Amino acid sequence: MTDDGLSAGAVARRLGVAVTTLRTWHQRYGLGPSQHISGRHRRYTTEDLARLEVMQRLAAEGVAPAEAARWARLAPADALLHDPSKMPTPKVPTPKVREVERQRTSRSRAGGGFTIPLGRAGPAARGLARAAVRLDSPKMREILEDAIEADDVVATWDNVLRPVLVGIGKRHLVTRSLIDVEHLLSRTSSEVLGAVPRPASAITRARILLACTDEEQHSLPLEALEAALAQAGVACRMLGARVPPAALIDSVRRTGPAVVVLWAHTAETADLNQLRRLLAGPRRPLLVLAGGPGWDPESLPSDVVMPASLSDAMRLAMAAADASD
């Protein structure tokens, strides 16, 4: 580290967290940059970074964030700078006690709601889940915008947004709740993804067509794909939710896309006949992608490809679009 200290972005990269997380730790727990140079933003010193490392390690071991921060603040500077990894760990409650406390805290903060299961998701996803349960749309928007700016749309979808959506779905299956949470998160996400700048090239050059099946209403994954393609400078046409088979065939006939992505979220909306009509229709696309968990890979026509992920769909679609030029 230089004498000028580290910026928030540099510290975030070292710790593997979002800059918004550092701001939260600073505002909520007092673990922020202490070095001040006139006319410049405050910078993080070696000691500041060591305290954050202690905070992060203790939190990962199950210590409540407030307690981990208190422990980090009170740690002697000489011990921190010598080897912060050897700082003793405070006594941690048993998993059962932690689960009771998590449910109690979630209910008190969210008006009777429950925590969202996220597995190994990172701090940004956890912050998004907390904001979603609180129905805090401005905070959700801030987290998603910061994630897209720091990484890209694909990383934000894979590491931040999708884990929260999956967690909400799992919790809903058990509690039959959180429908309002899912709706507001989806709407906010649509707004953020829609704000990603689109390519300046004319829409007539768009070689990729995105659509949901006839009865499919969940278009957010396609909106993420559209935004990710836009970030890569690739134009596409987005028809959105519930596209009837005849309307899809008409769109293909009029625009002649090289690639059609047809999305189905559930088995009930995965209409194989719509795929077959697309393959047999006029101006058949070079590549047809069946996107979404609703499709059964074993039942798909041999000419249809099922991408494994958002990045896989991007790669396949862009390669086919380039090959058709």
Q: What letter represents residue 46's amino acid? A: T
Cα dist. 305→214, 229, 300, 319 in Å?
19, 18, 8, 13
Q: How far is CA 54 from CA 35, 38, 71, in A?
A: 19, 29, 8
Cα 99 from Cα 215, distance rounded (Å): 39
pLDDT score, position 212: 97
Q: Which amino acid is at 310?
A: L
**What's the whole-number average pLDDT of the chain?**
85
Q: Please name every residue paired with 212 in a beta bridge, in sequence order, or none if there are none.
A: 263
Range 128-132 contact pairs with CB under 8 angstroms and sequence separation of 24 or more: 128/160, 128/161, 128/164, 128/185, 129/164, 129/167, 132/164, 132/168, 132/181, 132/184, 132/185
Q: What is the pTM of this model?
A: 0.66
Q: Report the pLDDT value the prediction gives residue 3, as an integer from 0 to 100.
A: 56
Q: What's the token pair of residue 171?
A: 């919790």
Predicted pLDDT of residue 184: 96
Name residues of the chain where pLDDT drops below 50. Answer: 84, 92-94, 96-97, 100-101, 104-113
Digit-coded pLDDT (tens) for 211-262: 999 999 999 999 999 999 999 999 999 999 999 999 999 999 999 999 999 9
pLDDT at 110: 42
Q: What is the pLDDT of residue 250?
A: 96
